[in-house]
Amino acid sequence: MVKDIIQVNNLQVWFPVRRGFVESLTSKEQMFVKAVDGVSFNIKEREIFCLVGESGCGKTTTGKAILRLVEPTGGTVKYAGVGLTPAMIKQAASEAVGKKHITKQEAEKNITEGAVSVRVLAKDKMKLLRQKMQIIFQDPYESLNPKQSIYDIVAEPLVVNNLGANESEREKRVQKALDDAGLRPPKDFMWRYPHEVSGGQRQRVGIAGALVLQPAFLVADEPVSMLDVSIRSEILKLMLDLREKKGLTYLFITHDLSVAYVFSDRIGIMYLGKIVELGPTEEVIKGPRHPYTKALISVVPKPDPRMKTDKIILKGERPDPAHIPPGCRFHPRCPFAMEQCKVAEPKPMFVSQEHWVSCWLESGEGKA
Amino acid sequence: MALLEVSGLKTYFKTQEGTLKAVDGIDFNLEKGQAMGLAGESGCGKTTAALSIMKLLPANGYIAGGSINFMGQDMSQVTGDKLRAIRWRDISIIFQGAMNALNPVKRVGDQITEPILLHEKVEEEVAVKRVRELFELVGINPNRIKEYPHEFSGGMRQRVMIAMALACRPKLVICDEPTTALDVMIQAQILQLLKNLQQELELAMIIISHDLSVLAETCELLSIMYAGKIVERSTAVEVFANPQHPYTKGLIGAFPNIKGERRMPQSIAGNPPNLIHAPKGCRFAERCLVAQDVCKVEEPPLVEVLPGHFAACHFVKERR
């Protein structure tokens, strides 16, 4: 059986809304922006799992919360300790108990399952774990420091983690990473600055920076949306190659369903902090069940004027995550909303072995 | 006579390294009520072409040749007050990232009445009334004219910008990447709005985008630009059904199609050439899969391949 490398269970990231002085005196209820509000999924080893949704649906926050670049406020994230020895896990767990982050039972459970609960891991152990979990950012024009050479950018993670015995060993690792990212020969690129290379090459530098620590799991946050269409598939192919060669697992975050369609193994559709539909890519795109998924698929522009399809254009924009509607959170924009949808939140229902959807229209086929 | 006739347009920039030939000889015509898409990779000169029509080039840019004829006037002769009168009243432009172009400390309504009052001698009440109509036209509640830009979401701000571009009832609207910064759902709303407006008001439109699929949904005509030149031009249906130039074929192949079979699209290897030292022959030769020796020496002319379908490649057959 294929191992799960990432298990996310009921993940929550709530940001408190800042209150003015007077408001805090009148002791109004503290409000939260519920960016991620109970998200559960798992990613198998060597799988590409894709989160799709409109901006502000919480997909980036989910990715960051898994790496603890933002602190989750609830739920669990587990990383099957491929990169960490059992001793390391044990020590991390006992420290967490010491600091009263978790109870002893929870700690024991963590160790027996052979997984590390990312959410309760002490900060310094998280740093170790992050060597195995890296992120590729969206905009290669903004995420690279213009004053650093490509060598410095790629070597930075080694410096931060105190890896590589001496400069020449570091250089070797940087060269290897650049070579893996398709910047060949590495010596030609190492001493250049970001402005001296093209957009596609910049994104390759970003990928090299993630690869230099030899991670097992990568979060790719819209890695191609800032690039010209003509070079997008080059970067996607590079990522597929890396999976073949290095056995990488990806969490791929995008708003572009057509990219998700050709690239990922499974898709999760997010709306307002929750996954509303999840399943194998082909099944979700060819047989969507949730009205939101159907609408999203219908509005993807087709690269052919002869193809005329009926579009389901949703009215208005997504509601504010500080004021999530009661019942099904999609009901104010849903063309099929019923009375029930306004009152109660639908539970996930399996429609096939691996494909589930949260919608009242799909009720009664077995609970997830 | 066509509404807009661009022939042999050359727009160059003076830079420290030499003259950058951003647009190097392009021709097209646009009739009243037609929408044309201008597609190409970033840096191919599509925005520069649009700025040349509006005469909005930055200080180091200049028109080095060719002519732009708008409603029978030679735009090179139009300057000063005359030019100011044409802008906005006859041609208006929606810039890239336009929703960030609104003045944050002025009410949106006031920002739209300003050009109306400047261009037409009307009372303020008349202008305000028109703004309310415009808001209704682009699908915003007219009561929101008193609000400030920060009270609008990205898609709504883009609608405000469209309303602003339409304020003086122009005949030609240029949209530079109108939906690039927007979500898919909002993109669909805006594209539908642009299409409806174009048909209702008989607007001529030039839509600039790197995204062929956006143009496929909105435009009747399509021109493909590469490195400062138009390499293929025809109706959108024709270009997609029967692409002639290898670059066009590459671009179309680079799009993943959600309705088609599931396979990784092909990319076009390499980068566009440096336009300060543009290559001698065909500019696409270096990246072209079918390039021969002749392509590196001789530049192919834009010839009519099929009725109304032009392409610039050595390996297309000219129609007789």
pLDDT tens, residue by residue, A39-73: 999 999 899 999 998 888 899 999 999 988 888 89
Radius of gyration of chain A (CA): 22
Identify which of B155, B213, B264 has the shortest CB distance to residue A317. Answer: B155
Residue B319 included in any domain: no
- Using the predicted structure, report yes or no on whether residue A81 has a pLDDT greater than 70: no
Q: Which residues of chain A make contact with B254, given a CB cutoff of 8 A?
A: 229-230, 232-233
- Tens digit of pLDDT for each residue in B168-184? 889 999 999 888 777 88
A142, burial (CB in 10 Å: exposed 0-12, middle 13-18, buried 19+): exposed
Instruction: Please check whether residues B130 and B276 belong to one and the same domain.
Output: no
Residue B320 included in any domain: no
Instruction: Please check whether residues B20 and B84 belong to one and the same domain.
Output: yes
Q: Which two tokens stand for residue A280?
A: 């194998």
Give the model's confidence band at A113: pLDDT under 50 very low, under 70 low, under 90 confident, else very high: low
Instruction: Please check whether residues B43 and B134 belong to one and the same domain.
Output: no
Instruction: Please check whether residues B101 and B159 belong to one and the same domain.
Output: yes
Q: Which domain holds residue B120?
A: 93-169
Q: Which of A341, A332, A343 is nearest to A272 (CA)?
A: A332
Query: End of a domain among B115, B145, B169?
Result: B169
Instruction: Please check whether residues B81 and B108 belong to one and the same domain.
Output: no
Residue B318 included in any domain: no
| Mean pLDDT of the B289-306 span | 91
Instruction: Please check whether residues B261 and B150 belong to one and the same domain.
Output: no
Instruction: Please check whether residues B140 and B289 belong to one and the same domain.
Output: no
Chain B residues with at least one Cβ partner in A under 8 Å: 41-42, 153, 155-156, 183-189, 191-192, 210-214, 216-217, 236-237, 240-241, 250-252, 254-259, 262-269, 271
Residue B83 included in any domain: yes
Give the rounded percent of residues in chain A with a pLDDT score beyond 90. 42
Query: End of a domain among B131, B147, B169?
Result: B169
The DSSP annotation for chain B comes to --SEEEEEEEEEEEETTEEEEEEEEEEEEE-TT-EEEEE--TTSSHHHHHHHHHT---TTEEEEEEEEEETTEEGGG--HHHHHHHHHHTEEEE-TTGGG-S-TTS-HHHHHHHHHHHHS---HHHHHHHHHHHHHHTT--GGGGGS-GGGS-HHHHHHHHHHHHTTT--SEEEEESTTTTS-HHHHHHHHHHHHHHHHHHT-EEEEEES-HHHHHHH-SEEEEEETTEEEEEEEHHHHHHS--SHHHHHHHHTS--TTS---PPPP--S-PPPSSS--SS-TTGGG-SS--HHHHHSPPP-EEEETTEEE--TTSPPP-
Cis omega (within 30 of 0) for bond into A185: yes
Q: How far is A315 from chain B (nearest CA, A)?
A: 8
Instruction: Please check whether residues B158 and B230 belong to one and the same domain.
Output: no
The answer to whether the predicted template modeling score (pTM) of the entire model surpasses 0.95 is: no
- Using the predicted structure, report yes or no on whether residue A243 has a pLDDT greater than 60: yes
pLDDT of residue B175: 92
Contact B255, A303 (CB under 8 A): yes
Q: How far apart are CA B125 and CA A33, in angstroms?
A: 41
pLDDT of residue A283: 94
**Chain A interface test: which of B193, B267, B274, B284 (most A C-beta within 10 Å):** B267
Identify which of B210, B258, B263 has the shortest CB distance to residue A300. Answer: B258
Mean pLDDT across chain A:
86
Instruction: Please check whether residues B228 and B268 belong to one and the same domain.
Output: yes
Instruction: Please check whether residues B16 and B75 belong to one and the same domain.
Output: yes
How many domains are there within chain B? 2
A283, burial (CB in 10 Å: exposed 0-12, middle 13-18, buried 19+): middle
Cβ separation of B185 and A236 shorter than 8 Å? no
- Tens digit of pLDDT for each residue in B259-289? 888 888 888 888 888 888 888 899 999 899 8
pLDDT of residue A1: 56
Residue B52 included in any domain: yes
pLDDT of residue A305: 80
Instruction: Please check whether residues B186 and B242 belong to one and the same domain.
Output: yes
Residue B218 included in any domain: yes
Cα angle A178-A48-A42, degrees, rounded to a multiple of 5: 125
Residue B103 included in any domain: yes
Which has the minimum average pLDDT: A76-90, A143-157, A284-298?
A76-90
Query: End of a domain among B135, B169, B203?
Result: B169
Residue B191 included in any domain: yes
CATH number at residue B204: 3.40.50.300
